[in-house]
């Protein structure tokens, strides 16, 4: 399936001819509750989105006098069959494996590691949603001045082990990923340092703060763009809009060399999540059923925002409420990297359509009420609990409002490398 020069995966079924389409319109065998189509469309505003129906129409689209999804220009289409409730877990596992087939601990050379050193020092790298540690390492290696490669070489010399934790991010929540880490490190007393990105920060928090607290006193952790108190992007009430944002983000990534390799698997995951949404409702609309769909994706539901969000206070994520309970100060070994991405680059201008100040119908269309890096609210990147955050300037690398650093390229920045080395002391 190709759209805007972006390969979004193989067609399940090509677009049929006019005769077949007319037959479908006259028959019942392809009803939406049995099979349907996901159509990638582009609206008058230039944004990509998904439409769900029983198949393409052989007739011109009827204009309704308003700009909307069903007035959009079709780009391409795939057929799907709805995912039944009992199939959701298997379906999500396949999506995870399609993006990252590896599961477990690996070294920088790609070899599986089954035994943690019993003592000494360990550096652990943990990726986020729709990602893998290879992407982090690849960005570090690609920094033109060589600072990322120097960091990796220095880490090899400073630590007894440098480990990459590859794990599923959709089928299970962060606490279950953390359980895997806890079991893997059960026989070790090593001093642990961690570099984590995005959702990986929640995995690390559950691991160090709940499941393996013996490592916490000596641990140093650098959280890069992590939703420590969740992200509005994972709000179940905005799932449809979130998938629209991610679709446009993936399209923009196509033109960026260091991100291009992630486009195809990311589109496949988005398309898969859209299949779940479409399996729950016959029309692609903002209905309460989206709440149920989001709850059926544990890796997404666990990241839903909790706590202050502009003038609102968001409740409902009981996992994060428990994780933040009791914190009055952030651990001394915690460090954070944050940014607020705003740009005039036409390729990334879609971000404006998802900010509160640019949206007329904020109740349904807005994702972020304030600063963000396209995926995570900036406020959440340093917030340990409702009233507690990492505040010391020496422990926060704040890129501030800028047109360069966003959620997908923290590890392409020399300043991020310097901050990691200073924070971890090597």
> Quick one: pLDDT at residue 43?
86
Look at residue 181 and tell me if it is in a domain: yes
Q: Give which of 127, 170, 205, 168 is closest to 299, Cα–Cα.
A: 170
Co-location of 262 and 188 in the same domain: no
CATH of the domain at 182: 3.40.50.1820
Look at residue 370 and tell me if it is in a domain: yes
Look at residue 24 and tell me if it is in a domain: yes
> Quick one: pLDDT at residue 31?
46
> Quick one: pLDDT at residue 6?
31
Co-location of 161 and 275 in the same domain: no
Q: Give which of 267, 249, 268, 264 is closest to 409, Cα–Cα.
A: 249
Region of poorest pLDDT, from 41-55, 333-347, 376-390: 41-55
> Quick one: pLDDT at residue 78?
82
Look at residue 88 and tell me if it is in a domain: no
Asked if residue 309 has pLDDT above 50, the reply is: yes
Look at residue 15 and tell me if it is in a domain: yes
Asked if residue 180 has pLDDT above 70, the reply is: yes
- Name which residue leads in pLDDT, 192 or 83: 192
Which of the four pLDDT bands, split at 50, 70 and 90, describes residue 171? very high
Co-location of 269 and 393 in the same domain: no
Residue 252: CA count within 13 A, CB half-sphere:
21
Asked if residue 363 has pLDDT above 50, the reply is: no
- Name which residue leads in pLDDT, 84 or 167: 167
Q: Report percent pLDDT > 70 for the chain.
A: 81
Q: Give which of 96, 366, 78 is closest to 242, Cα–Cα.
A: 366
- Name which residue leads in pLDDT, 16 or 105: 105
Answer yes or no: are the C-beta atoms of 225 and 381 closer than 8 Å.
yes
Co-location of 124 and 212 in the same domain: yes
Question: Rounded distance, CA 35 to CA 279, Å?
Answer: 9
**pLDDT tens, position by position, 327-342:** 999 999 999 999 999 9
> Quick one: pLDDT at residue 107?
98
Which of 283, 301, 319 terminates a domain? The answer is 301
Co-location of 355 and 212 in the same domain: yes
Domain residue limits at 8: 2-81+236-301
Counting the structural domains of the chain, the total is 2
Which of the four pLDDT bands, split at 50, 70 and 90, describes residue 101? very high
Co-location of 217 and 328 in the same domain: yes
> Quick one: pLDDT at residue 311?
83
Mean predicted confidence (pLDDT) in 95-111: 94
Q: How far is CA 247 from CA 224, 279, 370, in A?
A: 22, 19, 21
> Quick one: pLDDT at residue 21?
35
Look at residue 87 and tell me if it is in a domain: no
Asked if residue 282 has pLDDT above 70, the reply is: no
Asked if residue 77 has pLDDT above 90, the reply is: no
Co-location of 73 and 152 in the same domain: no
**pLDDT tens, position by position, 195-232:** 999 999 999 999 999 999 999 999 999 999 999 999 99
Contacts of 168 (CB under 8 A, 6+ apart): 92, 93, 96, 97, 100, 103, 177, 299
Co-location of 103 and 208 in the same domain: yes
Co-location of 325 and 224 in the same domain: yes
Answer yes or no: are the C-beta atoms of 302 and 177 closer than 8 Å.
no
Mean predicted confidence (pLDDT) in 398-417: 97
Co-location of 137 and 273 in the same domain: no
Mean predicted confidence (pLDDT) in 402-425: 97
Co-location of 267 and 384 in the same domain: no
> Quick one: pLDDT at residue 365?
57
Which of 301, 316, 348 terminates a domain? The answer is 301
**What is the average pLDDT score of the chain?**
84
- Name which residue leads in pLDDT, 73 or 43: 43
Which of 261, 281, 301 terminates a domain? The answer is 301
Look at residue 136 and tell me if it is in a domain: yes
Answer yes or no: are the C-beta atoms of 376 and 231 closer than 8 Å.
yes
> Quick one: pLDDT at residue 19?
32
Which of the four pLDDT bands, split at 50, 70 and 90, describes residue 53? confident
Region of poorest pLDDT, from 30-34, 293-297, 335-339, 377-381: 30-34
Look at residue 86 and tell me if it is in a domain: no
Region of poorest pLDDT, from 62-66, 105-109, 140-144, 168-172: 62-66
- Name which residue leads in pLDDT, 71 or 395: 395
- Name which residue leads in pLDDT, 10 or 137: 137
Co-location of 68 and 105 in the same domain: no
């Amino acid at each position: 399936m190709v759209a805007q020069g972006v390969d979004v995966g193989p067609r399940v079924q090509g677009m049929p001819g006019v005769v077949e389409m007319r037959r479908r319109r006259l028959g019942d065998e392809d009803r939406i509750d049995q099979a349907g189509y996901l159509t990638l469309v582009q609206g008058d505003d230039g944004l990509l989105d998904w439409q769900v129906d029983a198949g393409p129409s052989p007739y011109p689209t009827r204009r309704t006098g308003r700009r909307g999804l069903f007035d959009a220009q079709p780009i391409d289409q795939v057929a799907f069959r709805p995912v039944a409730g009992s199939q959701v877990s298997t379906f999500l596992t396949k999506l995870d494996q399609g993006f990252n087939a590896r599961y477990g601990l690996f070294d920088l050379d790609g070899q599986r590691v089954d035994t943690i050193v019993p003592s000494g020092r360990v550096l652990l790298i943990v990726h986020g949603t729709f990602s893998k540690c290879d992407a982090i390492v690849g960005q570090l290696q690609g920094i033109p001045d060589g600072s990322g490669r120097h960091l990796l070489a220095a880490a090899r010399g400073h630590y007894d082990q440098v480990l990459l934790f590859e794990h599923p991010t959709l089928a299970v929540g962060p606490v279950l990923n953390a359980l895997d880490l806890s079991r893997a490190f059960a026989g070790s007393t090593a001093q642990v340092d961690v570099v984590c990105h995005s959702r990986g920060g929640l995995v690390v928090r559950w691991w160090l703060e709940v499941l393996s607290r013996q490592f916490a006193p000596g641990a140093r952790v650098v959280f890069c763009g992590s939703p420590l108190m969740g992200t509005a992007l994972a709000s179940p009430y905005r799932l449809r809009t979130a998938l629209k944002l991610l679709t446009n983000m993936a399209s923009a990534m196509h033109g960026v060399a260091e991100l291009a390799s992630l486009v195809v698997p990311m589109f496949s995951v988005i398309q898969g999540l859209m299949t779940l949404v479409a399996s729950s409702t016959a029309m692609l609309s903002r209905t309460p059923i989206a709440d149920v769909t989001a709850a059926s994706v544990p890796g997404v539901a666990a990241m839903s925002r909790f706590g202050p969000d502009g003038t609102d206070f968001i409740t409902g994520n009981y996992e994060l409420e428990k994780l933040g309970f009791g914190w009055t100060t952030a651990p001394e070994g915690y460090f954070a990297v944050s940014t607020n991405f705003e740009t005039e680059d036409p390729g990334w201008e879609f971000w404006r359509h998802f900010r509160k100040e640019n949206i007329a119908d904020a109740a349904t269309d807005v994702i972020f009420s304030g600063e963000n890096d396209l995926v995570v609210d900036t406020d959440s990147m340093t917030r340990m609990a409702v009233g507690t955050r990492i505040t010391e300037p020496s422990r926060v690398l704040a890129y501030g409002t800028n047109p360069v650093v966003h959620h997908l390229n923290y590890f392409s920045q020399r300043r991020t490398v310097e901050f990691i080395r200073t924070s971890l002391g090597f």
